[in-house]
């Protein structure tokens, strides 16, 4: 572990108010400050010199702080910067020490784990060796007196090999298969090996299938999550498109309404101009203008007063003597038919406009209902969010209230006394 002798001095100086900073006496001319002149002094003399130096430094500091002519108004920024630097250095040192302690803890933990694993391995090894030794060296059959109480000693009796039998024993016949028993044992061993191999292969196949099923499940979950994300994006895009379509339909409806109003005003102006033209045109007027400038409603064939003028009213313009003299019956009939055709076209146009306005009104109502539904959904979500936030804030408020209660009633139960306030202004520390 790294040595902490250097920084500890600064920390001790910061914790002890009577000890000046490490660099407070760096420019002192006292001979005792020189290491070559202090080695011959006793510890009591060194301590007396240090105490005297601290007292002088404290007296000088009081003059500099309590004298209104010398002290500076405000905060000593250099001292604050020095304290901040010391605090930062102390924090860095503490972090380094904590990091070092953590590394050492992890190292020792790993070492202990390895030792524990080695201990368990050695224990298992000793147990296995003891069990193996018991099974191989301490068997019952290996005892010297085992032959006395062996129940299978008759069964274990082996006859002499057939090669030792003579021809008179009639134990060996020509054409006999002497290796049948050994071959049967080998075949049975081979069958056992095949069965073991098949079991091993089946286990491998089963494990591969399980791994494949597990991987397929993970892929299915990822696919489902991706589908849900895409559906959410599509829903958001669809809602955005519906809003944009609604706004566009509103603008289109407003534009159409403005065009309809403009068309009506234009047609009304044209109708008024046409009426004025009919009333004032000299070729269409059927009345007669006398020498005094008044209309003669009784002069001329047919309806001689289309403008609805009264006898004695002044005409806007006079009727020409060689102008229009009236219309024939055929012309009036054709005019009537033309008027009827125009009236039908106008009615059809009005009907189309009414149907179109009705269709736009239905579309507008559908858009309005959709917007109301979307707005209600937004309000429901906002209400849910407000409820969650209110519930969370209530929990946080309760936790903060409990914390403040604990701090005020249990932790901070030592209020400052009068001596604490009277201590201010008596020292520079």
The sign of the CA dihedral 19, 21, 27, 31 is positive
Higher pLDDT, 324 or 409: 409
Q: Rounded CA gap, 133 and 138, in Å? A: 7
pLDDT in tens, 41-98: 788 988 999 999 999 988 888 877 777 666 655 566 788 889 999 999 999 999 999 9
| CA end-to-end distance (rounded Å), the chain | 34
Q: Rounded CA gap, 130 and 331, in Å? A: 138
**Would you state the pLDDT for residue 304?**
47
Retrieve residue 367's tokens: 């858009």
Closest alpha carbon to 48 in 22, 30, 65, 61: 30
**Is the distance from CB of 289 to CB of 296 less than 8 angstroms?**
yes
**Is the distance from CB of 171 to CB of 162 less than 8 angstroms?**
yes
Q: Rounded CA gap, 23 and 263, in Å? A: 96
Higher pLDDT, 276 or 169: 276
pLDDT in tens, 272-309: 888 887 777 665 555 444 434 444 444 444 444 444 44
**Would you state the pLDDT for residue 123?**
96
Contact partners, residue 90, CB within 8 Å, separation at least 6: 7, 10, 11, 14
pLDDT in tens, 125-160: 999 999 999 888 888 888 888 878 888 877 877 777
**Average pLDDT value for residue range 31-46:** 64
The sign of the CA dihedral 123, 125, 129, 132 is positive
**Would you state the pLDDT for residue 322?**
54
**Is the distance from CB of 429 to CB of 18 less than 8 angstroms?**
yes
pTM of the model: 0.22
DSSP string for 203-255: HHHHHHHHHHHHHHHHHHHHHHHHHHHHHHHHHHHHHHHHHHHHHHHHHHHHH
- Asked whether residue 29 carries a pLDDT value surpassing 70, the answer given is no
Higher pLDDT, 168 or 2: 168
Q: Where are the domains of the chain?
A: 5-132, 239-370
**Would you state the pLDDT for residue 188?**
93
**Average pLDDT value for residue range 229-253:** 90
pLDDT in tens, 352-391: 999 999 999 999 899 999 999 999 999 999 999 999 999 9
Retrieve residue 414's tokens: 């030592």
222, with CB counted inside 10 A (0-12, 13-18, 19+), is: exposed
pLDDT in tens, 205-220: 999 999 998 999 888 8
Q: Rounded CA gap, 350 and 260, in Å? A: 11
- Asked whether residue 8 carries a pLDDT value surpassing 50, the answer given is no
Higher pLDDT, 14 or 377: 377
The pLDDT-based confidence of 421 (bands split at 50, 70, 90) is confident
What residue has token string 């609604």?
Answer: 246
């Amino acid at each position: 572990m790294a040595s902490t002798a250097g920084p500890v001095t600064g920390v001790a100086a910061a914790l002890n108010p009577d000890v000046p900073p490490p660099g407070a006496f760096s420019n002192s001319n006292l001979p005792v400050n020189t290491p070559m002149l202090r080695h011959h002094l006793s510890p009591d003399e060194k301590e007396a010199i240090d105490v005297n130096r601290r007292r002088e430094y404290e007296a000088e500091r009081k003059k500099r702080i309590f004298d209104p002519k010398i002290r500076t108004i405000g905060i000593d920024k250099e001292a604050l910067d020095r304290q901040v630097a010391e605090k930062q250095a102390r924090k860095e040192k503490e972090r380094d020490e904590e990091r070092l302690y953590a590394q050492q803890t992890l190292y020792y933990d790993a070492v202990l784990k390895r030792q524990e694993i080695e201990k368990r391995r050695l224990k298992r090894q000793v147990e296995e060796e003891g069990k193996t030794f018991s099974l191989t060296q301490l068997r019952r059959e290996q005892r010297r007196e085992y032959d006395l109480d062996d129940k299978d000693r008759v069964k274990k009796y082996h006859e002499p090999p057939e090669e030792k039998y003579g021809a008179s024993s009639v134990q060996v016949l020509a054409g006999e298969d002497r290796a049948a028993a050994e071959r049967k044992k080998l075949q049975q061993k081979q069958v056992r090996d095949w069965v073991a191999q098949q079991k091993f292969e089946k286990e491998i196949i089963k494990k591969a299938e399980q791994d494949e099923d597990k991987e397929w499940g993970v892929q299915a979950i990822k696919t489902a999550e991706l589908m849900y994300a895409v559906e959410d994006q599509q829903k958001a895009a669809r809602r955005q498109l519906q809003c944009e379509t609604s706004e566009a339909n509103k603008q289109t409806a407003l534009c159409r309404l403005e065009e309809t109003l403009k068309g009506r005003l234009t047609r009304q102006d044209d109708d008024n101009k046409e009426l004025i033209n009919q009333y004032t045109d000299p070729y269409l007027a059927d009345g007669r203008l006398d020498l005094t400038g008044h209309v003669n409603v009784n002069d001329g064939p047919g309806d001689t007063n289309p403008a609805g003028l009264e006898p004695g009213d002044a005409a806007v313009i006079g009727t020409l003597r060689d102008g229009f003299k009236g219309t024939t019956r055929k012309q009036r009939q054709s005019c009537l038919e033309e008027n009827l055709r125009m009236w039908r076209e106008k009615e059809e146009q009005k009907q189309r406009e009414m149907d179109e306005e009705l269709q736009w009104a239905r579309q507008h109502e559908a858009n309005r209902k959709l917007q109301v539904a979307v707005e209600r959904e937004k309000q429901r979500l906002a209400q849910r969010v407000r409820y969650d936030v209110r519930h969370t804030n209530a929990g946080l408020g309760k936790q903060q209230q409990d914390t403040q209660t604990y701090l005020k009633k249990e932790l901070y139960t030592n209020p400052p006394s009068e001596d604490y306030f009277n201590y201010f202004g008596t020292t520079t520390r």
